[in-house]
Amino acid sequence: MVNRKIRVLVAKPGLDGHDRGAKIIAYALRDAGMEVIYTGLRQTPEQIVEAAIQEDVDVLGLSILSGAHDYLFPRIHELLKAKEVNDILIIAGGIFPEEDIPKMKAIGISEIFRPGTPTDEIVNYIKSNKPVKS
Amino acid sequence: MFEKDELDELRSHKEKWTGKVEMGLEKRPERKKSFNTTSNIPVERLSTPLDIDDQSYQKEIGLPGEYPYTRGVQPTMYRARFWTMRQYAGFATAKETNQRYRYLLEQGQTGLSVAFDLPTQIGYDSDHPLAQGEVGKVGVAIDSIRDMEILFDQIPLDRVSTSMTINAPAAILLAMYIAMAEKQGIAPEKLNGTIQNDVLKEYSARGTYIFPPKPSMRIITNIFEYCSSTIPNWNTISISGYHIREAGSTAVQEVAFTLADGIAYVEAAIEAGLDVDVFAPRLSFFFNSHLDFLEEIAKYRAARRLWAKIMKERFHAKNPRSMMLRFHTQTAGCTLTAQQPENNIVRVAFQAMAAVLGGTQSLHTNSRDEAFALPSQESVQIALRTQQLIAYESGVADTVDPLGGSYYLEKLTSGIEEKAREYINKIDEMGGAPAAIEEGYIQKEIQDSAYRYQKEIDEGKRVVVGMNKFKIEEPPPTGLLRVDPKVREDQISLIETLKKERDSVELGSSMARLKKAAEGKDNLMPPLLEAVKAEATLGEICDLLRKIFGEYQPTTTI
C-alpha cells in the first residue's frame, strides 16, 4: 500500500458530553492529511474497539474529560488485547490527574495530551509514531 | 443624543485628529493592523459620541428596571442586594456533597447549585452498566428521593435557593426536590430555585440528552404549566448559552443561539395553550463570562435588550416581568489553563467582574485547579472570596450599570445585538432552533468557531499567558480532589436496600399512572411526584419514559 493516508478513529468513551476537543483534533488531523472518523458521543468500550477494527485504523484517539478514564481505558485495553489487536497507536486527551499518567502508559496508551497542547504537536506525534501495518 | 452643531464640530475635529494620529503611525505603529473582539467585531481606536449618535437613549438604553432593560432588570441593582453567590458543586455521594454545601454556606455563599453526575443527568441508576466509571465523578449521584433527602439534610430550603443543573430528567429531579421539601415541612410555594431544563442546548452543545425533541418539549411545557400554579417562585428553565460558549462559540453566537432556543421554548408553550405572561416571567438564562472583558459586558446588555424586544414585539407580552432577561453567570472553564494554574485565579476575577458590570443575578466563579480535576475545598474558597472581594471591596456594585454610556460599550452593545439578530433571523428561516439543530447548523457554527480559536492559539496570534507565551518549567499541582471508585458500590447497596424496603404495590400503581399520563396528554408532573414519593428510582422512571418516548439520535457533523 503506497502512501496510504493515516487513518484515525477519534472516540468519545463513556457518558461525557465535552466534545470540543475531540472535534478540534478531528479537524486538525484532517487538515494534516489524515483520514479521520469521529464516533460521536457516548460510546462504550465495546463500540470503540469494534469501530477501530472495522475501520482498520492506524491510530485510536480517546478523548475524555469526565474522570471515567480510570474504568474505561483499562476496559478498552482489555478488549483490544482479547481481539489480539496490537498494531494500533493509542493516544488520549482530556483532563487527567498527574498520578494517573503512568497507569495509562502501562496499559499501552502511548501518549497523553493534556489541556494546552498545540494541535501540531499531536499531528507530529502521530506522524512519527504511527505503527507500520502489515 | 447630542446637539447637531456639536456633533458636526466633533466630526471635523476627529477627522483632523485622526489625520495627525495616522501620520505618527509610521514612527509609532500600533500593535496590530486591525483589532477585533472574539466575535470578530472590529474594535476602533477610539469611540466618541459620533459612534452612538443614531441611538435613542430613551428607546435603546433607558433606565434600569424599565424596558428594554439594557441597564439592568432591577431599578437599584446591587445597591439593594448583591448578586447570589452560587458555586456549582457536587461530587461522590449525597453525604459528601451535603458537607460541601454546608461548608459553602458557612463561608458566606448565598445560594446552592447542584452538580449531578453523568448517569443521573442521563437517567441511569448507579447500578446501570453504562454508569461504570462515572458514578459520583462530575457531580453527585442521585438515584432516588432517599439520596435527595441526604443531599439537603439540615439545609434551610425556605431560605436558600437551589439551582439544579439537570436537563433531560429535570422533571423527575424537581419532583424529588418538592417531595423532599414537603417531608422537611416546607410547602412548594415557599421554594426558590431553578432547574436548567434546557434540552435544546444539550443537543447542540452539552450532550446529556435522553429523549427526542418532541417529547422533550412536551415535558418542558408540562413543567412550565405545573410550576406556574404550584411552585410560583421557581425558575422553570435556565436557557443556557454557557455550554454553547464552552463548546467554542463566539459571544455573538452565544447570545444568538441561546435566544433562539428561548424563542423555541416560548413558541412550544404558547402552542401548548399557555399564556405567555403566566410562564414567561419564570424563564431565566445562563451565560458564560469569557476573556474579552468589554465584549462580555456588552454581551449581557445586548442579550437583555434583544430578549425584551423579542418578548414584546414578537410574542406580545404585556407583563414587564415577561420581558426581563434574568441570568446566572459562570466564568469560562475553557479559558483555565493547566499551565501556571495560579494565574486562573486572576482570569476568573476579571471574568467575574465583567459579569457583575453586566448586571448578573447570580454568579459562579471557577476554581484555579479545574484544568486538572474537580476543585478542592481550598480552591473553591478562593473562588468564592473573589466574588466577595468584588462585592464588598471594589465599589463597582454601588452604582447601577457603571459602564453604561461609554461610547465604546454602547456601540459594542448595539453591534452584538445586531449580529445576534441576524443569526436569529437565519435560524427562523430554517424553521427555528430545533430544525437548525436537527440539520447540524448550530453545531457546525460552534465547532468552526472553536477550531478558528484553537488555530489562533496554535499560531500564536492569540496569546494565552503561561501557555503559549511566558512559559515556565513547573512541577505538577498537588492537593487535587479525587473521587473514590467505591462510591458506585455504596450507591448500589443503597439501591438494593431501597428496592427491598419500598412498598411495591404503591410503586406499581404510581408507575402505571405515570405510564398512562406519558402515553396520553396529561401533565406529567403529578404522576412523577407520586412515583418519586413511592421511591421509584430515577433510572426506573427514565426507562419507562424511554420506552414510550424513544431516544434521541444525534446528528454528528465532522
Record: contact A17-B207, CB cut-off 8 A:
yes
Domain A11-127: give its CATH architecture: 3-Layer(aba) Sandwich (3.40)
Which residue out of A18, A41, A104 would a mutagenesis test of the B interface target, given it has the greatest number of B Cβ atoms within 10 Å? A18
Check pLDDT > 70 for residue A1: no
Q: How many angstroms separate the CA atoms of B170 and B303, rounded? A: 25
B186 domain-assigned: yes
Task: List residues of A whose CB lies inside 8 A of any B CB.
Answer: 14-20, 23-24, 26-28, 36, 38, 40-42, 44, 66-72, 75, 95-98, 114-116, 118-120
> What DSSP letter does each residue of B253-318 carry, written as one string?
HHHHHHHHHHHHHHHHHHHTT--HHHHGGGEEEEEEE-S-HHHHHHHHHHHHHHHHHIIIIIT---
For residue B344, give every residue at least 6 positions away whose Cβ sits within 8 Å of its Cβ, in sequence order, or none: B336, B337, B366, B367, B368, B369, B370, B371
> Quick one: pLDDT at residue A2?
58
Of A67, A115, A116, nearest to B137 by CB-CB distance is A67
The C-alpha of A121 sits at a distance from chain B's nearest C-alpha, in angstroms, of 10
Q: With beta carbons under 8 A apart, name residues in chain B contacting A123.
A: none
Of A36, A42, A116, nearest to B339 by CB-CB distance is A116
Instruction: Identify the band that residue A4 occupies on the pLDDT scale cut at 50, 70 and 90.
Output: confident
Q: With beta carbons under 8 A apart, name residues in chain B contacting A96.
A: 372
The residue of chain B with its CA nearest to that of A97 is B372
Q: What is the pLDDT of residues A106-123, one digit of tens each?
A: 999 999 999 999 999 999
- CA trace torsion B258, B263, B266, B268 (10° rounding): -100
SS (H, E, C) B149-207: HHHCCCCCCCCCEEEEECCCCHHHHHHHHHHHHHHCCCCHHHCCEEECCCCHHHHHHHC
Q: With beta carbons under 8 A apart, name residues in chain A contacting B202.
A: 17
From first to last of its 558 residues, chain B has per-residue pLDDT tens of 688 999 999 999 999 999 999 999 999 999 999 999 999 999 999 999 999 998 999 999 999 999 999 999 999 999 999 999 999 999 999 999 999 999 999 999 989 999 999 999 999 999 999 999 999 999 999 999 999 999 999 999 999 999 999 999 999 999 999 999 999 999 999 999 999 999 999 999 999 999 999 999 999 999 999 999 999 999 999 999 999 999 999 999 999 999 999 999 999 999 999 999 999 999 999 999 999 999 999 999 999 999 999 999 999 999 999 999 999 999 999 999 999 999 999 999 999 999 999 999 999 999 999 999 899 999 999 999 999 999 999 999 999 999 999 999 999 999 999 999 999 999 999 999 999 999 999 999 999 999 999 999 999 999 999 999 999 999 988 888 888 889 999 999 999 999 999 999 999 999 999 999 999 999 999 999 999 999 999 999 999 999 999 999 998 777
Record: contact A14-B464, CB cut-off 8 A:
no
- CA trace torsion B66, B72, B76, B81 (10° rounding): 140
Of A15, A23, A115, nearest to B130 by CB-CB distance is A15
Record: contact A14-B134, CB cut-off 8 A:
yes
Check pLDDT > 80 for residue A3: no
Record: contact A23-B451, CB cut-off 8 A:
yes
Q: What is the pLDDT of residues A93-104, one digit of tens each?
A: 999 988 899 999
The C-alpha of A25 sits at a distance from chain B's nearest C-alpha, in angstroms, of 9
The residue of chain B with its CA nearest to that of A66 is B138
Q: How many angstroms separate the CA atoms of B498 and B312, rounded? A: 50
Strand order in the sheet with B362-364: B234-235, B193-195, B161-165, B111-115, B84-89, B362-364, B327-331, B283-289, B237-240
Q: Spell out the domain ranges in chain A.
A: 11-127
Q: How many angstroms separate the CA atoms of B377 and B548, rounded? A: 42
Record: contact A70-B485, CB cut-off 8 A:
yes
Biggest CA pair distance of chain B: 87
Record: contact B457-A15, CB cut-off 8 A:
no
Of A17, A24, A70, nearest to B206 by CB-CB distance is A17
Strand order in the sheet with A35-38: A35-38, A7-11, A59-64, A89-94, A111-113
User: B237 is written with which cell numbers?
Assistant: 428553565
Of B133, B202, B447, nearest to A14 by CB-CB distance is B133
Query: How many folded domains does chain B comprise?
Result: 1
What is the number of CB-based contacts under 8 A between chain A and chain B? 112
Q: With beta carbons under 8 A apart, name residues in chain B contacting A14.
A: 118, 133-134
B220: domain CATH number is 3.20.20.240
> Quick one: pLDDT at residue B122?
98
Residue-range definition of the domain harbouring residue B92: 58-458
Q: Is the ipTM of this complex over 0.85?
A: yes
Give the DSSP H/E element, type plus range, for residue B515. helix B504-519
Of A20, A36, A95, nearest to B372 by CB-CB distance is A95
The C-alpha of A116 sits at a distance from chain B's nearest C-alpha, in angstroms, of 6
> Quick one: pLDDT at residue A134?
55
B538 domain-assigned: no
